[in-house]
Structure 1
Amino acid sequence: MRLMFVGFLCAVSAISTKVLAAEAEIVTYKEMCDASAAVALDKDHFVVGDDEMNTLRIYKRGQSSSIKQVDLSKFLDTKPDKESDLEGAARIGDTIYWISSHGTNKDGKVQDRRRRFFATTVDTTSSPPGLKPIGAAYSKLVENLSSDPRFAKYKLAEAAKKPPKTNGAFNIEGLADGGNNKLLIGFRNPLPENKALVVTLENPTDLIEGKGEAKFGNPIELDLKGRGVRSIEKVGGSYLIVAGPYDGKKDFVLFRWSGKESGEGIEKLETPAMNALFPEAMFEIPGTGEVQVLSDDGSLTVGAGECKDAPRSEQAFRSVILKP
């Protein structure tokens, strides 16, 4: 299935809104619906995580079926049919860090398997590139954040017991290279004073290597007009953020953020080609200045039910490439 959306050029307005000039083709990839985290492996290949399963799939751009799969069930200490709700990914060098939602299931039940921070390494000697997990998964981010006095006002321990799509719940969806071997963690929920919460993880390598507990920078609050972070990606000297509501509503916007801890330097980008999607994953395509945005299409209708409940052979997600 391919649809064509054509954007047009518009000057930056007084409210710092920019329309991206792009002719963007929506391309469909098979074998999963809920594309929720993704990273480029090279210019032509990318890996995608699904929040409904623990198997990573590697795709070649423009080829609908995956070319490699990496089953993480054993590594994450889960059963093959019990997902860890993977939601974010970020690459630093040849290490790809992955993070799960750390929230409850839809009924508000706390499940340890949803509290995972881990890493894979890229095998650049194989063609196409491969992946393998390294170190050990870390599962104490909620406790570490809750015990840090700088985050007391967010009541994260209480939030982590609420269903993730309720007001004030705990739900991580974004992960990005924060520079200097640090990571930025982006929250879909909670929204303190209607702002999105971003947290710097200062020692990701230590956690993977089993050296101590998580250390954080100061909390960052971003004015994304009442939306939380659904995906965040470092592009050049700034960050692109896919922002959306904490619940299941469709209201997605792309922002550019300076990266300043003060939260200053936010610009809204109008993206006509993205309007048809449910964007939840994004990554920069190396050497192109372009970003690829992936849609979580689990709720779309396939046959008599939702895509995520369809047979694997009938599942698919959509993707678009933009040049911000």
Structure 2
Amino acid sequence: MIRGMFKTAFVVTAVLGSSPVVDQPAAPAPQNMPAPPAPAMKTVTFEGACDASGAVVQGQWMFTVADDEDNVIRVYDGKSGGGPVRTVDLSAALKLPAGKKRPPETDIEAATEISPLSFWLTSHGRKSSGKVDPNRFRFFATRTLEDGTTRLEGKPYTRLLDELLAAPQLKSFGLASAATRAPKEEGGLNIEGMTAMQDGKSILIGFRNPIPQGKALTVVLLNPTELLQGKKARLGPARLLDLGGLGIRAISWWRGQYLFIGGPISGHGGSRLFTWDGGAGEPRAVEGADFTGLNPEAFVTFEDKEEILVLSDDGSSLIDGVECKRLPEVAKKRFRGVWLRLPGKK
């Protein structure tokens, strides 16, 4: 059983106030209550890429991150920032067709670790133009060896979208219709979050779009390692979570709780940070986590550190008047990370 997370037929109604009502005067409302302290934040800049998406912990202060504009994963020092320590282009291993200038992008949007493997998930949505691109239907894993080299593990899995559309627990959410639309169109399909769950075997997948009933959609993948051998995906419970009308940009399991970045489907508007214990209740917003000027899209969560690292997709940020993602000079490209201490964590 997965830590009791979905064990009650997905009923989200919380039972409140179970003690008897006592007829007594109401306590006066507190006056001038101080606002909760804002989380401490420190910004680090990373060079050589713009569109940070999924990321996994690589070691002491180190992490590996994908860029959704290419098929390269890069290893960075999360403490000092700067350029990548190592880069690995996965295009050949993923057997992508040759392009005019480079292989087509797979649109990697999410990552998680089930040791000793790192798992990577593409958006499984259409191109921004609305055209189908089969290269965007990939679920795969990498293994990093003791000498620091990284290789693909098994074979990329390309049938996950078909199985999501066929899953009876997802039928009521309109994914078949969503899959015919552009990813940032109202009611389109776009997957941007996943994390290994507490059992260390299953993965929780989160959708940025669609947002059925104004809630974020999640579903459990029960057998991620078997997909690398070509076995059919087994999908577990689906659940809607209330993120205040936002979709899921990133998920991480950290220190006994889930962390979510909630963001709008279009990319226009603010993002928020949420925590969730995985039970029957809803996620709670982390007050004071201000992402103004950032486009948060990935977590790096070290279990032995008090802060989490939130990565910003800065592909649309202007550098010398040009969008970062369109810069021809790789040396000028950069994205930001924010070290964040959550309230109550010491």
Name the TM-score, length of structure 2 as normaliser.
Answer: 0.84
Aligned mate of 1:117, from 129, 134, 139: 139
Higher-Rg member (1/2): 2
Counterpart check, 1:189 vs 2:206: no
Question: Equivalent residue for 2:304?
Answer: 287
**Would the aligned equivalents of 1:43 and 1:286 in 2 still touch at CA under 8 Å?**
no
CA contact (8 A) 1:40 1:286 kept: no
Aligned match for 1:144, one of 163, 177, 183:
163
Q: TM-score, structure 1 length as denominator?
A: 0.89
1:86 maps to 2:125: no
Q: What is the DSSP-based 3-state SS (H/G/I as helix, E as strand, rest coil) of the residue aligned with 1:274?
A: coil
The 1:99–1:271 alpha-carbon spacing in structure 2 relative to 1, beyond 3 Å, is farther
Quick one: structure 1 residues 172 and 93, their matched pair in 2 at CA, closer, same or farther if it must change by over 3 Å?
same
2:63 to 22, 28, 46: 46
CA displacement at 1:185 relative to structure 2: 0.5
Residue type of the alignment partner of 1:242: I
Alignment: residue pair count: 302
**Partners of 1:307 and 1:316 within 8 A in 2:** yes
Query: Contact 1:76/1:113 (CA < 8 Å) preserved in 2?
Result: no
- Deviations, residues 68-93 of structure 1 (Å, cap 9, x unaligned): 01110012222444110000000111
Name structure 1 gaps, 5 residues minimum.
1-12
* TM superposition shift of 1:237: 1.4
Residue 276 of structure 2 corresponds to residue 257 of structure 1: yes
> Which residue of structure 2 lines up, in the alignment, with residue 101 of structure 1?
123
Contact 1:43-1:287 within 8 A present in 2 as well: no
**Residues 211-226 of structure 1 correspond to what in structure 2 (within 5 A)?**
212-226=231-245
Q: Deviations along 1:170-216, whole A, 9 cap, x unmatched?
A: 10000101233000101000000000001100010110122x21111
Amino acid of the structure 2 residue aligned with 1:65: G
SS at match of 1:233: strand
1:206 to 218, 221, 226: 226
Query: Which 5+ residue runs of structure 2 have no aligned equivalent?
Result: 1-29
CA distance in 2, matches of 1:274, 1:39: 21
1:21 deviation in Å? 4.7
**Secondary structure at the residue paired with 2:135?**
helix
Aligned to 1:314: 332
Partner Cα separation in structure 1 for residue 182 and residue 61 of structure 2: 38
2:89 aligned partner: 71
Following TM superposition, the consecutive aligned residue runs of length 4 or more in structure 1 with deviations greater than 6 angstroms are none
* Larger strand percent: 1
AA paired with 2:196?
Answer: D
Decide whether the 8 Å contact of 1:203 with 1:215 is kept in 2. yes
User: Percent identity among equivalent residues?
Assistant: 38
Contact 1:35–1:50 (CA under 8 A) maintained in structure 2 = yes
Once the two structures are superposed, residues 6-46 of structure 1 have per-residue CA deviations (whole angstroms, 9 ceiling, x without a partner) of xxxxxxx9xxxx95654322111111110011111112211
Instruction: Report if aligned partners of 2:247, 2:265 keep a CA contact under 8 Å in 1.
Output: yes
